[in-house]
Amino acid sequence: MQKDRQRFLMRFGDPAFRSLTLAFTLLVLMMMGALVYVLIEGSWPALRIFGPAFVWTSGWNPVTEHFGAFVPLVGTLITSFIAMLIGVPFSFGLAFFLTEICPHPLRQPIAIAIELLAAVPSIIYGIWGLFVLAPLFQHDVEPFLIATLGNVPVIGMFFQGPPIGIGMLLAGIILGLMVLPFITAVMREVFVSVPAVLRESAYGLGATRWEVVWRVVLPYCRKGVVGGVMLGLGRALGETMAVTFVIGNAHHLSTSLLAPGTTISAALANEFTEADGVIYTASLVGLGLVLFVLTFFVLAIGKRMLLGSAKGGLA
């Protein structure tokens, strides 16, 4: 009876399971293709008029129906860059602490507490930034930055203007706090995946904790670390509500990080319900297409690096 059951499973079970998983894979690919098709079809009226110049055109005027994605695209890249400057060092420090320094009984509770930050809704980050951080920045932080860094040659232009509170800098800081648990979780996992024999060998040769991490752990799992950073960057690129609350939502370029700006996701959230023309709506869908392509490539690169890290090795 048992042998008959095994023969039945081998004859019909494995092919059925293989067909089912293939169907799910094809379904995901079809959904991805349908999404791309909808974005291209919806943005086609604008792309047909503006062409590829839509990406590097800075104007955004619904009255004259002149639209360009450059300002929201630059705002997306700047805020994401600020988020990485904040999130990556803190994530590395937390992962280093949890894997090398923290007492064993406290490692799991602290790791869970950090990862729970990822469960906080983005709108909560936005409300916190608007009502807590924005007044603090307006009255204390930004006046200090203007009085100090604003007078430094070259970099001073990034810290000039009136202290408004909301702007590109605050949006980038909020994004940095939001991506921190994602990057920390990935870094911690890849640090833990390093074979214990490598660590013990380095300690046996007299290496310090920092030397073990810098010369053994990081070379072993560098692709995983970079992959985690790329995944966090993809999260920052597509964030909407938190950025919408604190960025100021202004369609103009400024060299100052303290000035209001906008991102692709913030522009979509603010203007999609108010778009009353074909070109206006198509331009907003075009922004979505630009963001989709940008995020897709970032996440694809991050996933590829994570797969490379899973193979292990120092090469």
Count of residues in the chain? 315
Strand partners, 87: none
Mean pLDDT of the chain: 83
Per-residue pLDDT band for 315 (boundaries 50, 70, 90) equals very low
Q: Contact at 8 Å (CB) between 228 and 187?
A: yes
Distance CA 22, CA 171 (A): 42
Q: E strands within 50-148?
A: 60-61, 66-67
Mean pLDDT (whole number) for 181-198: 84
DSSP E strands in the chain: the ranges are 60-61, 66-67
| Residues with Cβ within 8 Å of residue 36, at least 6 apart in sequence | 292
Q: Which of 267, 232, 241, 264 is nearest to 128 (CA)?
A: 241
Residue with tokens 């929201």: 72
Pairing state between β 60-61 and 66-67: antiparallel
For residue 252, pLDDT beyond 70: yes
Q: What is the pLDDT of residues 23-62, one digit of tens each?
A: 888 998 899 888 888 888 888 888 888 888 888 888 888 8
Beta-ladder partners of 61: 66
Q: Residue range 98-111: average pLDDT? A: 83
Write the class of the CATH domain 51-310: mainly alpha
Q: Which pLDDT value is given to residue 174?
A: 92
Calpha distance 227→300 (Å, rounded): 9
Question: What pLDDT, on the 0 to 100 scale, is given for residue 314?
Answer: 41
Closest CA to 261 of 182, 172, 124, 167: 167
User: What is the C-alpha to C-alpha distance for residues 297 and 303, in angstroms, rounded to an integer?
Assistant: 10
pLDDT higher than 60, residue 313: no
- Tokens of residue 210, six digits: 């920092």
Q: Which of 12-16, 126-130, 222-226, 288-292 has the lowest mean pLDDT?
A: 12-16
Q: Determine the average pLDDT of the residues in 228-245.
A: 84
Burial 82-112 (b: 16+ CB within 10 A, else e): bbbebbbeebbebbbebbeebeeeebeeebe
pTM of the predicted structure, to 2 decimals: 0.82
Domain ranges of the chain: 51-310
Q: Which residue has the higher pLDDT, 199 or 305?
A: 199
pLDDT at 5: 62
Q: 290 with 73: CB under 8 angstroms?
A: yes
Summarised one tens digit per residue, pLDDT across range 120-178 is 888 888 899 889 999 998 888 888 888 888 788 888 888 888 888 888 999 999 999 88
Share of the chain above pLDDT 70, in %: 92
pLDDT of residue 307: 65
